[in-house]
Amino acid sequence: MPRPIRATIHLDAMQHNLERARACVPGAKAWAVVKANAYGHGLERATRAFASADGLALIEPDYAVHLRALGWTKPILLLEGVFDPADARLLASHGLNSAVHCDEQLRLLELAQLDRPVDVHLKLNTGMNRLGFSPARFAAAYARLRAIPAVRKITLMTHFANADVPAHPRLAIGEQIRRFRAAAEGLDGDWSLSNSAAVLQQAAVGASLRSDWIRPGIMLYGGSPGHESAASHGLLPAMSLESELIAVQQVEAGEYIGYGSRFQVERPMRVGVVACGYADGYPRHAGTDTPILVDGVRTRTVGRVSMDMLAVDLGPVPQAQVGSRVTLWGKGLPIDEVAHAAGTIGYELMCALAARVRVEEAPHG
């Protein structure tokens, strides 16, 4: 029999969240971002959950080819572009779109001698200072792309650094939009600007933001890209991680729990041992007081997370026993809340789900 830990993927929630993204920006076409194996949810599941998307976007060329093998016939966008000549040839042979963010990628396309037309997304650095051409060099890069016979359509794109805080004191989204508008003036092409945070902040930035394409990512999986809860935006959790208690201990006052003896029991305590640890993808740095549900009742972790187990305080759940159901995150316990308690973000928890964890799909409806 397998260990009791399991992840459940809710395709209905993923579909709902995509429609929520569309509703935020009426009329825009949507790239559903499926990088990192669809944020840990599985590429094959993503092709079904996001069947209504206008395209899928990711960074891994080999996974893009796999999407074609899975039967996805709509556009696929490589968000980081191509890395070598072989990748450039894949663009034509598998009908892939590619970001272009540096001179080296321009050169790859110029030398590739592609036998089929390809669509590209020219990236502007508007202040993120990660990828993209500077505003001063953007028009020249556009001209070089236009001169490549195999390049068909050019979309203009950027990535916002602080869309979750539109009036960010260091770099407001309005300033990034201003830089984009100035650099894109006179250049023909659709605009692709909005990540999840910008999609959800359309009410704050919509007056100055043109959106031909949106690129929702974390919101599709029920996570929040900012400080507000996912539920406050009408998003549903797409992944639940559950396990069971495999032991119950009565620990006396003054004793310690776990490696390093970091947690000392102040009064007699019933402690449950959960079949879940950092080798399953649960964050090792999640300290005492990280929220957890036992039999649907909120309680807390105690002590250090082990490779295969973690301990929980059963004080609020006196009826708990071996076999009691444990929710690490999911319905009733947002993944972002767990991540915050562990000093990280929900993205990391989703993507860290280990291969040894059994993954199931929730029944439709």
Q: Which CATH number goes with the domain that contains 259?
A: 2.40.37.10
Q: Is residue 33 part of a domain?
A: yes
On whether both 112 and 254 belong to a single domain, the answer is no
DSSP string, 6-68: EEEE-HHHHHHHHHHHHHHSTT-EEEEE-HHHHHTT-HHHHHHHTTTSSEEEES-HHHHHHHH
Q: Is residue 279 part of a domain?
A: yes
Count of domains forming the chain: 2
Catalytic residue among 29, 63, 259, 278: 259
pTM for the model stands at: 0.95
Provide the pLDDT for residue 202: 80
Spatial CB neighbours of 129, under 8 Å, sequence gap ≥ 6: none
On whether both 191 and 95 belong to a single domain, the answer is yes
Provide the pLDDT for residue 340: 96
Q: Which two tokens stand for residue 202?
A: 């359309």
Q: Is residue 3 part of a domain?
A: no
Provide the pLDDT for residue 164: 85
Q: 185, 203, 225 — which closes off a domain?
A: 225
Strands 76-78 and 310-313: unpaired
Under a CB-based contact definition with an 8 Å cutoff, are residues 216 and 199 in contact? yes
Provide the pLDDT for residue 67: 98
- Mapping DSSP to helix (H, G, I), strand (E, B) and coil, where does residue 248 land? strand
CATH code (residue 107): 3.20.20.10
DSSP string, 307-355: SS-EEEE-TT-TT--TT-EEEEEBTTB-HHHHHHHTTS-HHHHHHT--T
Provide the pLDDT for residue 45: 98
On whether both 49 and 106 belong to a single domain, the answer is yes
Q: How many whole angstroms separate alpha carbon 162 and alpha carbon 144? A: 30
- Establish whether 35 is a catalytic residue: yes
Q: Which two tokens stand for residue 277?
A: 């640890």
- Residue 332's domain comprises 239-361
Q: Is residue 232 part of a domain?
A: no
On whether both 211 and 313 belong to a single domain, the answer is no
Q: Which two tokens stand for residue 51?
A: 């069947």
Q: 192, 225, 258 — which closes off a domain?
A: 225
Spatial CB neighbours of 26, under 8 Å, sequence gap ≥ 6: none
On whether both 186 and 114 belong to a single domain, the answer is yes
On whether both 268 and 206 belong to a single domain, the answer is no
Q: How many whole angstroms separate alpha carbon 176 and alpha carbon 193? A: 10
Provide the pLDDT for residue 246: 98
Catalytic residue among 35, 39, 123, 278: 35
Q: Which two tokens stand for residue 72?
A: 């996805």
Q: How many whole angstroms separate alpha carbon 87 and alpha carbon 98? A: 10
Per-residue pLDDT of the chain (365 residues; tens, 9 = 90+): 789 999 999 999 999 999 999 999 999 999 999 999 999 999 999 999 999 999 999 999 999 999 999 999 999 999 999 999 999 999 999 999 999 999 999 999 999 989 899 999 999 999 999 999 999 999 999 999 999 999 999 999 999 998 888 888 899 888 999 999 999 999 999 999 999 999 998 866 655 677 899 999 999 999 999 889 999 999 999 999 999 999 999 999 999 999 999 999 999 999 999 999 999 999 999 999 999 999 999 999 999 999 999 999 999 999 999 999 999 999 999 999 999 999 999 999 999 999 999 999 999 76
